[in-house]
Structures are given as structure tokens and as C-alpha cells.
Amino acid sequence: MTRRLPELPLAARRARLGEALKRLPVLGREEGQAEVALRQDQVLDNHVLTFDLEKGETAYARRSSLMFASGDFHMTTERIAKRGLPLLGLFSGQNLWANRFEARGLVKIIAGRDFHGTVIGLPVSGEEPVWLQPSLYLGHRGTLSFVTRRVAKREFWTLTEVTGEGTVWIKAPGRSFRQKLSSEPVIVDTNYVAAVRGDFSAHGKVFTGAQYLKSGEAENVRLSGTGDVIIQTEVPLSAQASGGILGTILDIFV
């Protein structure tokens, strides 16, 4: 006699069919831009960044992130971010370097990082800048400027401000979620903030000295603003690296 296996729940059947991809986090206030990012990220399960370029088009991918390339293109390496203060590099270790790809025909570029996470496309406009952890930057398109700054009072927390017109992609380790900001401050651990959209303010005075010692919560800030914050769920060591020992030296001193 053949035993019939129990039927999977509807949610499980949908996940097996790939419909779970529709629930991946694609952020952006313009519905059209969000749909473009979703379609692009569906190709390879939202864990890598894929550029399909036509002749004359350009795109940037983080140095040491190239996984696959096809077609005829010209590549140069550029430092795309500068620091508000050069000495920040001794503490944050973050100059952003990227490879610029200019297509000479039909070109496909796939970039990734060596940790589990989700690639998120963030539209940037003059009305809405993006602030991101420079170690999570994966690539961008458009006319964008990058500057690494200290962003919190009473806490040495640096983020890279992205302004201009275009889209910047990050890879957030683990899973990620978004929380709206308002004038009412929320408390976040700076190690888990992947990016902030819109204008915001941050203050490091959160707990008393005794609370810090007992709780172990030492890198928290109060965050308020007009946009939202993207929180990652993991902090892998590889997310802090940028191309091995040589890449780290270049990040700090170049």
C-alpha cells in the first residue's frame, strides 16, 4: 500500500515556486524605481547585483566585488568617496574605491560580497539623500557624490552621504528591515544600521554610565528624522573588509 504524503501548506508551496521573491525588501518611494529594482534583483535571488549595459552606458561596482562579466567593456578603478576629515580613515578605515565599467557593446556585470545578505537598491535624489555604511556599498549608477562624515553627537559614528541623482546598491548582511523615522527619537545600535534615507540627527547620549557598564549596550544612538532607517541583522567580519590586506591599507591611507 502506498502512503500519501501530507500536502504542503499553501505558503510553503508558494515559497517553493519562487513567489517568496516578491517579499524581498526593495525600498524607494517611487513605485516605478522600486519595481525596476525588484525585477533586477529577482534574477539571482537578490543576493548579487547585476548590471545589463548597452553600448556607451556605465556602472560602478565595489572594488574586489566582480564575480562575473561578459561582453566588451573598458574598466578603470576610481576612488569615489572622500572624507570630511582625512584623519577619519585612521578610525573608520573607509575610502570607497569602485571599478567603473563602460560598455562597448552588450555587457553583463555581476558583483557580490563574501557574506550572506540581501542586495537593496536605494534611489537617490536631490530631495532625499542616502546615508550608508561604507563597508556595505556594492555599486551605483547615475551622477552621485560620496562623502564620509561623522554623523552623531557624543558618539564617533561615521556614515557615507550619497547625493545627486541615481541609485546606489548596498548588501545588508543577514536579513534587513525598515523603520520609519519621526521627530520622536528611536534607539539604534550603530553596528546594525545599514543605511538611513532622508535627513536625520543622531545623539550618543542614551544611557547612564552605570547602565552602559551593566547592559553592555555601548554603541547606541538616539535617531530622529524625516526618512527611514534600514537595520541589518548580522555583522560579519568580511563585511568590514575591502580587498584583503592591501585593500585595507589603501582604505586607510590613500
pLDDT at 5 over 60: no
Q: Name the residue with higher pLDDT: 238 or 229.
A: 229
pLDDT given at position 209:
56
pLDDT at 116 over 70: yes
pLDDT given at position 238:
61
pLDDT given at position 158:
85
Between 3.20.20.80, 3.40.50.2000, 3.60.160.10, 3.40.50.150, what CATH number should domain 10-253 receive?
3.60.160.10
CA 49 to chain centre: 11
pLDDT given at position 16:
45
| Cβ neighbours around 135 below 10 Å, total | 23
pLDDT given at position 246:
42
CA 189 to chain centre: 16
pLDDT given at position 126:
84
Query: Residues 58-103: pLDDT tens digits?
Result: 999 999 999 999 999 999 999 998 665 555 554 444 578 999 999 9
Query: Residues 11-60: pLDDT tens digits?
Result: 544 444 444 334 444 454 445 555 554 454 443 458 899 999 999 999 99
In this prediction the pTM is 0.72
Would you state the cell numbers that stand for residue 57, as one nine-digit string? Answer: 552606458
Cβ–Cβ under 8 Å, residues 162 and 129: yes
What does the pLDDT average to over 160-176? 94
Show me where the domains of the chain are located. 10-253
Q: What is the largest CA-CA distance in the chain?
A: 76
pLDDT given at position 7:
58
Instruction: Tell me the H-state helices in the chain.
Output: 10-16, 31-42, 89-92, 209-215, 244-253
pLDDT at 234 over 60: yes
Cβ–Cβ under 8 Å, residues 217 and 189: yes
DSSP string, 25-50: ----SSHHHHHHHHHHHHTTTTSSEE
Would you state the cell numbers that stand for residue 22, as one nine-digit string? Answer: 516578491
pLDDT given at position 196:
94
Q: Name the residue with higher pLDDT: 250 or 202.
A: 202
Query: Residues 175-227: pLDDT tens digits?
Result: 899 999 999 998 888 889 999 998 888 887 665 555 555 554 557 888 899 88
Q: Is 174 exposed, middle or buried (0-12, 13-18, 19+ CB in 10 A)?
A: middle
Would you state the cell numbers that stand for residue 64, as one nine-digit string? Answer: 574586489
Would you state the cell numbers that stand for residue 207, as one nine-digit string? Answer: 544611557
The rounded distance, in Å, linking the Cα atoms of 97 and 219 is 27
* Average pLDDT score, the chain: 76
What does the pLDDT average to over 99-117? 95
